[in-house]
Amino acid sequence: MNVARDMHVDLAADKDWWRGAVIYQIYPRSFQDSNGDGIGDLAGIVDRLPYVASLGVDAIWISPFFTSPMKDFGYDVSDYRDVDPMFGTLADFDRLIDTAHGLGLKVMIDLVLSHTSDQHPWFVESRSSRDNPKADWYVWADAKPDGTPPNNWLSIFGGPGWEWDAGRLQYYQHNFLTAQPDLNFHNPDVQDALLDVVRFWLERGVDGFRLDTINFYFCDKELRDNPALPPEERNDSIAPAVNPYNYQRHLYDKNRPENLDFLRRLRALMDEYPAIAAVGEVGDAQRGMEIMGEYTRGDDLMQMCYAFEFLAGDPLTADRVSEVLQHFATAAADGWACWAFSNHDVVRHASRWGLDDAAKRMFMSLLMTLRGSVCLYQGEELGLTEADVAFEDLQDPYGIQFWPEFKGRDGCRTPMVWTSEVPNGGFSDGKPWLPVSPQHLPVAVATQENNAFSMLAHYRRMISFRKSHPAITKGTMELNAPEGTVISFFRRDADETFFCAFNMGTEAQDIALPDGEWHMHDGLEFSARIKNDKIHIPAHQAFIAHKI
């Protein structure tokens, strides 16, 4: 391996680089097409990495690019150790690693370990008989005497969580599409095979992993029914409200305590390399925070996790932010969160919460001052809204299943806009796999690049501010009770104290100035001001000051 890919063996590497890091998520299909087929690829990512580095982020997270039949756009893996031809080759990936490291960017890849494609050789062999060497590598179960599935588990994508296989005369479990059978983590051979996959990518030079559906790895060995969930406890943070998946308390199809031992094995493997980090996606609508705490507690589990509290549809008010942060402090006091407002699975937060430009800036500033690490989703820095994708253009099976009440995830996955030129905004010379939104073109990168007052410039300023102050990246956090529509807190370390306040409402608010002498941080373009021992914060504005 060359020098750039050998950086992971540097014993002087910062093992805590991830703590407080800003991670930029790249959805490969929609970032940059390099060959005119309308689908983004690894070579396209390489071409755009200087732009990503210019944002000041610490790392990139690349959504799946592995070999796949693309029933769920790469989250159905048929070969964990290769690149799907539509995205390029392993040599392209090696070049991506080299280029990213040369620009000072860490590279995290999205590992989908809970399930595979039904075209993966493991599943092809497993379903061939009940006595082959991989017969027990997936979750198989006999039908009930009346032929119905073994229990009441449901799929996030709609319908039962079981699919009948006419060859084995058994059902197999699938938490997602029927083409995504769930692996049996109770089998140690399965665990070993997946850890070998992790080692393969570590040896290739990756700096870490985003772990898809980390709490789905194990199911209940006894296959017990999930209990019903009372209507008043249901929410749509994991599945849309029209999906009966929300009607169950998911005690047995995921969230199993056995997962902790596997995560310790995974962490031990990562710790063989000097500076590797993982962020786990915790998909649970009731116990997300508690599971985050369980999975990130101590130094032998995951470094960080994220739940869906800030990815849900509920309006993000001062009271709601306070509730989430207090809940995290209680449920995961020894853990580490990775906060995000948008990703490839949810409506972009600018549309989800109906934000104008001032609110977008305020929300981003809030995100950048929270204790924890941060994930940004491609295009968020441009202020992109959810694209309106016509039914005939839909690609997402989730949206097709529940249209029109739920339109799926295509609206947040449309191509990145690099220039304002029509028709494809600099994304591709061919017809894009999803249409480029006409509403996105006026805010393309090239349009904002040289505008000091653009959304893009604000993101760069706030990322730079965050990275310049250890009190913000790694310091403590002291949360104050909300004052009307204002959420505020102190961030501290041994050298600095910051007071951060955010008016999340549509009317100006005055709050008390904390004791001491304060200086507003220069260059952040906020209009809040100190007046007569009060802080006057206009609607959707922020106040950030350090103690003198």
Which residue is catalytic, options 182, 207, 212, 309? 212
Does position 7 have pLDDT exceeding 90, yes or no? Answer: no
Which residue is catalytic, options 146, 272, 334, 533? 272
User: Do 428 and 522 fall into the same domain?
Assistant: no
The predicted model gives 454-468 an average pLDDT of: 97
User: Do 289 and 419 fall into the same domain?
Assistant: yes
pLDDT bracket for residue 236 (50, 70, 90)? confident
262 within domain boundaries: yes
User: Do 531 and 395 fall into the same domain?
Assistant: no
Q: Of the residues 449, 466, 483, which one is the last residue of a structural domain?
A: 466
Contact of 335 with 433, CB cutoff 8 Å: no
Distance CA 81, CA 86 (A): 15
What pTM was estimated for this model as a whole? 0.96
| Phi, then psi, of 443 in degrees rounded to 5 | -110, 25
User: Do 253 and 288 fall into the same domain?
Assistant: yes
Residue 533 is part of a domain; what is its CATH number? Answer: 2.60.40.1180
User: Do 353 and 315 fall into the same domain?
Assistant: yes
Q: How confident is the model over 141-194, as pLDDT tens digits?
A: 999 999 999 999 999 999 999 999 999 999 999 999 999 999 999 999 999 999
Burial class (CB in 10 A: 0-12, 13-18, 19+), 474: middle
182 within domain boundaries: no
User: Do 97 and 213 fall into the same domain?
Assistant: yes
275 within domain boundaries: yes
Q: Specify the pLDDT at position 508.
A: 97
Kind and range of the H or E run holding 511: strand 509-512
Q: Specify the pLDDT at position 13.
A: 79
User: Do 381 and 479 fall into the same domain?
Assistant: no
Q: Of the residues 400, 433, 466, which one is the last residue of a structural domain?
A: 466
157 within domain boundaries: no
pLDDT bracket for residue 8 (50, 70, 90)? very low
User: Do 394 and 531 fall into the same domain?
Assistant: no
- Catalytic, 517? Answer no
Distance CA 515, CA 533 (A): 9
Quote the number of domains for the chain. Answer: 2
285 within domain boundaries: yes
Q: Specify the pLDDT at position 489.
A: 98
Distance CA 28, CA 52 (A): 14
pLDDT bracket for residue 4 (50, 70, 90)? very low
Does position 3 have pLDDT exceeding 80, yes or no? Answer: no
Q: Of the residues 405, 433, 466, which one is the last residue of a structural domain?
A: 466
Distance CA 179, CA 253 (A): 18
User: Do 437 and 382 fall into the same domain?
Assistant: yes
- What is the maximum alpha-carbon separation in the chain? 79
> Beta strand pairing status for 509-512 and 518-520?
unpaired
Does position 10 have pLDDT exceeding 80, yes or no? Answer: no
User: Do 226 and 246 fall into the same domain?
Assistant: yes
pLDDT bracket for residue 460 (50, 70, 90)? very high
Q: How confident is the model over 421-441, as pLDDT tens digits?
A: 878 999 999 999 999 999 999
Q: How confident is the model over 15-38, as pLDDT tens digits?
A: 999 999 999 999 999 999 999 999
> Beta strand pairing status for 140-141 and 66-67?
unpaired
Contact of 412 with 347, CB cutoff 8 Å: yes
Residue 377 is part of a domain; what is its CATH number? Answer: 3.20.20.80
- Catalytic, 212? Answer yes
Q: How confident is the model over 502-526, as pLDDT tens digits?
A: 999 999 999 999 999 999 977 787 9
210 within domain boundaries: yes
User: Do 235 and 309 fall into the same domain?
Assistant: yes
User: Do 219 and 291 fall into the same domain?
Assistant: yes
Domain that holds residue 93: 5-115+188-466
Q: What are the percentages of helix, strand and coil residues in the chain, rounded to 5?
A: 30, 20, 55
Q: How confident is the model over 96-144, as pLDDT tens digits?
A: 999 999 999 999 999 999 999 999 999 999 999 999 999 999 999 999 9
